[in-house]
Structure 1
Amino acid sequence: MVQTRAVLAALLFLLINLLGGSAYNVVSVEAGHEAVLSCPYVSKVSLLMVTWKTTCSTCCLLAYRSDYNKTRRLNCSERMTWKYSPDSDPALRIYPVNLGDEGNYTCEIASTSGNFLLFSSLTVIVPPAVTLTSDSRTAICQASAGKPAAEISWIPASNHSIEEEVHHPNGTVTRVSYIGWVHSTLPTITCLVTHPATNQTLSLDLSYTSPRLLYLLIGGPASVAAVSGVTLCLIFVCRAFRLRKLAHRSAVPFATKNFRSTPLREKRDAVKPPVSSEIIYQNYNPNIIYMNC
């Protein structure tokens, strides 16, 4: 048993030396960019066959056989191809990378010198969408759908910030940080978002969101409305007074100038019986006679 373990350790050490480095490769690429997964280097003369495949049995398989100079593709996206000529450098190229490409890949090389393996782990990084907003009492910094989750900090630093996280099915994370600034005397507040794909700094001008400004924005229209209401009230009172005055005048009897008699009126007057002068002057009052100009 001890001898078997020693032989396996020696073979592993020899394999690492033949590969010229580690037999496990870790690659991190931002979504939408190009990912290149390398294979162990072998000379063109000794290369017999190279195969790229993922860990699952039904996933992508990309192979090249040098003696036939043929390439075989099985269940592979068109975004996956050889970076260079497979007989000179059989590196795998994926462009553009998306979250579905994340996983483990294996490069197998058969040559006259032996068989070699290189395992690669591909991690896809997604930069978050960053926003900084506020309501009347709180500043809100949000880093949406990032992978991994972004780190959020504030300037000036505060121990009273509150954070929330939402994990999405595709592996991305939305992180939100809240901080109150009602009693702050500083003119601005700054949100710092740190992420492997991007670092962003957003600032909020507190002078445009202060309670004093909100009071002015609310009190200004109210003052205008109050003045307008008083003005309309005065107009209505004046109009009512004038209408009452006109109604009082219309109730006082008045006499008009004599109009020229028409034939019809003369005929009507001829039919009427004569009226004595006593009846005419019975209700006479000179103070209530008005001339209509």
Structure 2
Amino acid sequence: MKMSGLLSALILLIIQGSLAQRVRVEQEVVSYPGQTVTLRCQFPNPGETQLTQVSWIFEPTDAERTNIAVFHPNFGASYPAKSPLSGRVSFVTDPPTLENPSIKIIEVKMTDEGRYICEYATYPSGNEQGVTSLIMLAKPKNLATTVRVNAGKTPVIVARCESSNGRPAATISWSTALNGNVTAPIETENPDNTFSVQSAYMLVPQPSDNGKDISCMVSHRTLTQPETFPMKLVVEYPPQVKIVGYDNNWYRGRTSAYLICQADGNPVPTTVTWRTLSGLMPEKVQVQENRLAVQNVDDTINTTFICEVKNSLGYGRDQISVFVREFPQPMKGAAIGGIIGGILCVIILVALIATIVMVRKCKRKNKDGPPTHKPPPPIKTYSYSDRPSIDKPVSDSQLMHHETEKEDAMKDLSAYHDDKDHYEPSRFSWEDKQSPYQDDRDEDRTMGEEDGYYITSSASRGSSFMSPAVIV
């Protein structure tokens, strides 16, 4: 039974839809107040259906339907006098026809919004109709303002935004970095079918909120983009005062010492007053508006200075006690000395590191490079007693060089045997330099025991051997 009921309802809707499709109308028409709007209606290709009469019926949103225009081929057009559109509605063509009974409404009002039904009386199928919805749009008037408030501890409205006489109702939103709340929008329907919407922003106002940004945005169907109203909050508060300029280093004889009274308030402070806790201002003090200057610091400045600032909401004050020292504090000098000392330490450290690196590089180069002296040619050796005297002095470096070479030569020459203390000459005397080799005379000569050296006779001419060390 449920399935059969649903099937019957579906068939009925299909039949009604097929009938309604025979009357051609526009589903929706949009207009603004004061304009002329045309509502079209046609019954094309009636076929065997006889069209006898056409009627336009107005159905407001919250009222009963009413006939506003009727046309009969034999009796002509009729416009009921009780129609809310009387005098403003008429058929488009004169005389109208049943095939095209479109109407027009002049000077449309917001109250004209609703459903308009074009209904045909036909035979034999009965009445057939098409429905057009007339939507009236009204561009709203938008406004946003801030509210001048006093700083406090309770939430108050700091800004308002309103969209008036719009249709449909507008949408209001807020944009701000403030930590406040948006009130629920209040929507009011006006007698002319327009709507007014109000919204507010609430905040616990603080002096720091004065001048901060807040924006109201209104969105509406008649607007291509939201209308934005940027604003700045206005928070009023008594003066906030602070004395600056005292560095805790006022000493006897100091010049150009000063204090500045900084004040912030809304409205702007109008009066600045300097005084001391004792009531007497020292003679060496000069006061110029918010500046207090001391020409020469002495013991009379050793007091408490008070600055008072007033505006229309009240006054604020600050005070500072000055201590006059006998000698200045070496605050800046000590800091500069520490900085200079640190820089010098860094420079010394860098120089030390560079020196160590260079020394290591030089040692490595000397160790890995070729020998710095040329080995002497094979020579005849002499005993220390027979060695010619050398008048040329010998330096310490040369002596060290000689000792090194002597040790190397003694290691390489296996023919030497040392039983007594001796000194091994390494080069000829100045007279022998003229004929260094003397191979023909002393080639096979060996040294006696009294010389302290024994040389084997196998070291003949032409054989290879290591020469003894040379003293230069």
TM-score (norm 1): 0.57
Kindly indicate whether the alpha-carbon contact (under 8 Å) linking 1:30 and 1:197 is maintained by their aligned counterparts in 2.
no
- Which one has a bigger Cα radius of gyration? 2
Displacement of 1:172: 3.6
- For 1:9 and 1:40, how far apart are their aligned partners in 2? 26
In the alignment, what sits opposite 1:173?
195
- For 2:106 and 2:177, how far apart are their aligned partners in 1? 41
In the alignment, what sits opposite 1:62?
69
Structure 2: give runs of 5+ residues left out of the alignment.
Answer: 150-157, 237-263, 273-472
- For 1:3 and 1:163, how far apart are their aligned partners in 2? 49
In the alignment, what sits opposite 1:52?
56
- For 2:75 and 2:33, how far apart are their aligned partners in 1? 33
In the alignment, what sits opposite 2:137?
125
In the alignment, what sits opposite 1:110?
121
Kindly indicate whether the alpha-carbon contact (under 8 Å) linking 2:29 and 2:134 is maintained by their aligned counterparts in 1.
yes
Q: Secondary structure at the match of 2:111?
A: helix
% identity of equivalent residues: 21
What letter is aligned with 2:72? R
Q: Secondary structure at the match of 2:267?
A: helix
Kindly indicate whether the alpha-carbon contact (under 8 Å) linking 1:19 and 1:41 is maintained by their aligned counterparts in 2.
no
In the alignment, what sits opposite 2:221?
196
- For 1:136 and 1:210, how far apart are their aligned partners in 2? 6
User: What is the RMSD of the two structures over their aligned residues, measured on CA atoms?
Assistant: 4.1
Matches within 5 A, 1:72-87: 72-75=78-81, 76=83, 77-84=86-93, 86-87=96-97
TM-score (norm 2): 0.38
In the alignment, what sits opposite 1:146?
166
Displacement of 1:62: 0.8
What letter is aligned with 2:228? L
Kindly indicate whether the alpha-carbon contact (under 8 Å) linking 2:161 and 2:198 is maintained by their aligned counterparts in 1.
yes
Using CA pairs under 8 Å that are at least 6 residues apart, name the structure with larger relative contact order, 1 or 2.
Answer: 1
- For 2:91 and 2:45, how far apart are their aligned partners in 1? 17
- For 1:64 and 1:108, how far apart are their aligned partners in 2? 11
What letter is aligned with 2:197? R
What letter is aligned with 1:16? G
- For 1:213 and 1:173, how far apart are their aligned partners in 2? 41
Give the 3 Å change call, closer, same or farther, for CA 157–122 of structure 1 in structure 2: farther
- For 2:26 and 2:16, how far apart are their aligned partners in 1? 12
Structure 1: give runs of 5+ residues left out of the alignment.
Answer: 224-293
Give the 3 Å change call, closer, same or farther, for CA 84–113 of structure 1 in structure 2: farther
Instruction: Specify which of 52, 74, 77 is matched with residue 71 of structure 1.
Output: 77
Count of aligned pairs between the two proteins: 218
What letter is aligned with 2:199? S
Kindly indicate whether the alpha-carbon contact (under 8 Å) linking 1:48 and 1:112 is maintained by their aligned counterparts in 2.
yes
In the alignment, what sits opposite 2:377?
none
Give the 3 Å change call, closer, same or farther, for CA 128–3 of structure 1 in structure 2: same
- For 1:127 and 1:213, how far apart are their aligned partners in 2? 41
Kindly indicate whether the alpha-carbon contact (under 8 Å) linking 1:40 and 1:117 is maintained by their aligned counterparts in 2.
no
